[in-house]
Structure 1
Amino acid sequence: MSSDYYEVLGVARDASADDIKRAYRKKAMKLHPDVAGPGSEEAFKEAQEAYEVLQDPQKRAVFDRGGDPAHQGAGGFGDAGFGGGGFDFTNLVDAMFGGGSPFGGQGGSRRGPRSRVRRGQDALVRLRLTLAEAVFGVTKPLDVDTAVVCPKCHGKGSDGDSEPVTCTTCEGAGEVITVQRSFLGDIRTTQPCPTCRGYGSVIPNPCSECSGEGRVRTSRTINVKIPAGVDDGNRIHLDSQGEVGPGGGPAGDLYVELSVAPHEVFRRDGANLEMAIEVPMTAAALGTTVSVRTLEADREDMDEDQSSVEVEIPAGTQSGARIVVEGRGIPRLRGGGRGDLGVSLLVRTPTKLDGHQKDLLREFAESRGEHEGRASVHTSGSKGVFSRLKEAFGG
């Protein structure tokens, strides 16, 4: 027995289990005979012995009291996962990375066969909405092409009463070990069994409908409830409505991504709706009240009195002015009522006048001192006017 196992591994006497494990991994990679040469065999065995003792709380306690843990019925120290005649590359990588390596299971143990029943993948589909459907909400049927449980074998994968049998290649382990010669010696690696693909069993009589998969692809229709106020790019999450997993496993989730078609009249701006109307020059000058359609007019279940709203246009209104109708915009998804309806006004100048109308306009212009046709440069607030006109025309 070594005089001091702590000194062999290079750790303090109060070192934690993780500190001891890290120190041993470092030593194992440095001193293994197939890596460092035959001259390191004794030092490697000594490191193995030290680790076997210090990683076991009972053996460590015996050693700390001055006893000999080798006589505690715990077995010898000659292997520790690195047997003679070459070494298991899986265990060497485990010594470096702490198990779970891509070559095998933790501590050199096998992972075992994988289950045929697994959760299905999530699915993403897209759904086109009208602006009215997005604003007020709707329940729409959606055709989904996805995997469902096989109706013939009900997910079992085998035909009739037949059952899967143990794979003769891996004897049910789901893995096989291959040996490859190298300068390090015989390198053994673990990989999924090529016969059963890691399942540990094979299906001698697979279902004729799903070919042993336990699921088939089909098209089905589901009803999707769209809440009021959704916007372009929003997603609806439907739990367990996605792909059924292999072996009839639990279905994944379905995500419905929404797109909203442009409207010929209304434009969305956050929680507000924007529209533009034309008014005659005389109406803008004298003031008037006009009836303006609302987005509710696109709904078949809406009363006529909700399909329009009266908008008062003050006398002297200029082209590009915006009148706000409160509460006739878009419902907010997280509550807080509805946005507003913005009505931008475009003052329409007449293009065809008869002689009498021209005389009246000349008389009107003379009365206002505008008959000479002088123009003035507008500066204050001109940017805002142009911006409103651009928005009104959908720019």
Structure 2
Amino acid sequence: MKKDYYEILGISKSADAAEIKKAYRKKAIEYHPDKNPGDKSAEENFKAAAEAYEILSDPDKRRQYDQFGHQAFSGGGGGFHGGQGMNMDDIFSQFGDIFGGAFGGGFGFGGGGGQSRRPKGSNLRIKVKMTLEEVVNGVEKKVKVKRKVQADGVTYKTCPTCNGQGQVMRVTNTILGRMQSASTCPQCNGIGQIIEKKPAAADAYGMITSEETVSIKIPAGVSDGMQLKVSNKGNDAPGNGIPGDLIVAIEELEHETLKREGENLHLDLYISFPEAVLGISKDIDAVNGKVRIKLEEGIQSGKILRLKGKGIPSLNGYGSGDLLVHVNVWTPKELSKEQRQFFEKYLTDDSFVPAPEKTEKSFFEKVKDMFS
């Protein structure tokens, strides 16, 4: 079982953004590969801290994690939110600035100051529509994505300005003496390489647009607005860079008869007055087909029948919600002469006089129970 992200960083669940960043910087410096050369345990702790920071520093990801735990980011396929697929270059590329000057400004793995940073390509975003059936069962979607990829025939050479370091050093004289500072190379933008030659169809960065079919495994229980991440399926980066990610936003389509509320589903069931009086068995819509239910004699309008486990599966794997059937007795608006005479005959009959039992809950009590 994966360790809790808050526990990894040594913070409380109420920690604010500044506390999260401070805690991550402390852990990153403690387990930094330059400080612990060859120590695999330190490297794993370093990656775990980066993964925890990636989630908790993003308000949306943190909200999903607080609600669903690690399961919120376990979509399979190309690897979803979280640092599961992160390597050391990913971490330095995304979070290197947090280390400040603690390691001489170098962000490369195990090399200390002066190494160039591997650039990361830009992310792509798409929206995927899902039916309620797909939400309940999980689904694998295949989508076509247009992404920037490095063109065949592109070659690079070492940047002459920074000699492949990605940084240029400047020395200035101050009243305190000579001060040395490093800044990103203006010619290669920190990559350490520049294009030597490229085909005519490529852009200034040696990229062309290519259409690719990406398979996305979406787990059961996702909800509208949730975002999943497929690692390395965004735009490529120049040189030996890290591809960006594909961000997948979930759009849940409305069902014709079922309404979703969290992990529960609601269904309005209308029955006739004779059906309410005599009782009846009816087939109703559930997500994966029809379900037969029995309505007892004398069932009242407003009665709620709960079908256990017929709702939405929990994203964290803890069972499923319920299907709540709301019974509504349909009162006819037009009657024939004979029908009207029948009801007039029994208008004052004791069997037709409302006599709710004390054990029956009021409408407001039912609403309160439904939302509690």
Matched, 1:328 2:321: no
8 Å contact kept, 2:104–2:113: no
| Aligned pairs (5 A) from 1:173-322 | 175-176=167-168, 190-198=182-190, 202-211=194-203, 213-296=205-288, 307-322=289-304
Contact 1:113/1:198, CA 8 A, preserved across alignment? no
Aligned residue type for 1:339: G
Tell me, which stretches of 5 or more residues in structure 1 are unaligned? 1-96, 297-306
Give the CA deviation at 1:267.
1.2
Q: Distance in 2 between matches of 1:173 and 1:374?
A: 87
Give per-residue Cα distances to partners, 1:247-302, cap 9 Å, x unaligned.
Answer: 15333443423221222210123333210111111211221222223222xxxxxx
Distance 1:291 1:185, change over 3 A: closer
In the alignment, is the contact (CA less than 8 A) between 2:172 and 2:179 conserved in 1? yes
SS in 1 for 2:242: coil
Q: 2:116 aligns with which of 103, 114, 122?
A: 114
**In 1, Cα distance between the equivalents of 2:168 and 2:241?**
26
Which residue is 2:157 aligned to? Answer: 164
In the alignment, which residue of structure 2 is the partner of 1:352? 334
Instruction: Pick closer, same or farther for the CA change 1:111–1:358 going to 2, 3 Å.
Output: same
* SS of 2:119 mapped into structure 1: coil
Q: Secondary structure at the match of 2:347?
A: helix
Tell me which residue corresponds to 1:365: 347
1:139 aligned residue: 140
Distance in 2 between residues matched to 1:369 and 1:316, nearest whole Å: 11
- The one-letter code sitting in structure 2 at the alignment partner of 1:311 is I
Q: How does 1:4-15 map to 2 (within 5 A)?
A: none
Identity of aligned residues (%): 29
Distance 2:347 2:130 in 1: 51
How far the C-alpha of 1:166 sits from its partner, in A, is 5.6
Aligned equivalents of 1:328 and 1:99: distance in 2? 55
Residue 338 (structure 1) shift: 4.0
- 8 Å CA contact 2:188–2:194 kept in 1: the answer is yes
Matched AA of 1:138:
V
CA shift at 1:174, angstroms? 5.2
Q: How much does 1:134 deviate?
A: 0.7
Q: Counterpart amino acid of 2:210?
A: T
Q: 1:289 to 1:186 in 2, by over 3 A?
A: closer
SS at match of 2:251: strand
SS at match of 1:209: coil
CA 1:259–1:219 in 2, change beyond 3 Å: closer, same or farther? same
Q: CA deviation at 1:124?
A: 4.2
1:193-246: per-residue Cα shift (whole Å, max 9, x none)? 444445555444344333463443433221222233322244434343333232
CA distance, structure 1, for counterparts of residue 193 and residue 318 of structure 2: 58
Q: Kindly indicate whether residue 325 of structure 2 is the aligned counterpart of residue 340 of structure 1.
A: no
The one-letter code sitting in structure 2 at the alignment partner of 1:363 is K
TM, length-normalised to structure 1: 0.55
Helix, strand or coil: the match of 1:387?
Answer: helix
Q: Which amino acid aligns with 2:332?
A: P
Q: Confirm or deny: 8 A CA contact 1:214 1:248 kept in the other structure.
A: no
CA distance in 2, matches of 1:368, 1:265: 37
Q: 1:389, CA displacement in angstroms?
A: 12
Q: CA deviation at 1:186?
A: 7.5
**1:166, 1:237 → 2: CA distance?**
33
Larger radius of gyration: 1
Distance in 1 (alpha carbons) for counterparts of 2:180 and 2:320: 68
Aligned partner of 2:45 in structure 1 is none
Cα offsets for 1:92-116 (capped at 9, x unmatched): xxxxx976577x99xxxx954625x
- Segment of structure 1 superposing worse, 174-183 or 132-141: 174-183
Question: Does structure 2 conserve the Cα–Cα contact (< 8 Å) formed by 1:215 and 1:247?
Answer: no
Cross-structure match for 2:3: none
TM-score (norm 2): 0.58
The worse-fitting range, judged by mean Cα deviation, of 348-357 and 230-239 is: 230-239
Q: Secondary structure at the match of 1:134?
A: helix
Inter-CA distance 388–275: structure 2 relative to 1 (3 Å threshold):
farther
Indicate the SS of the match to 1:246.
coil
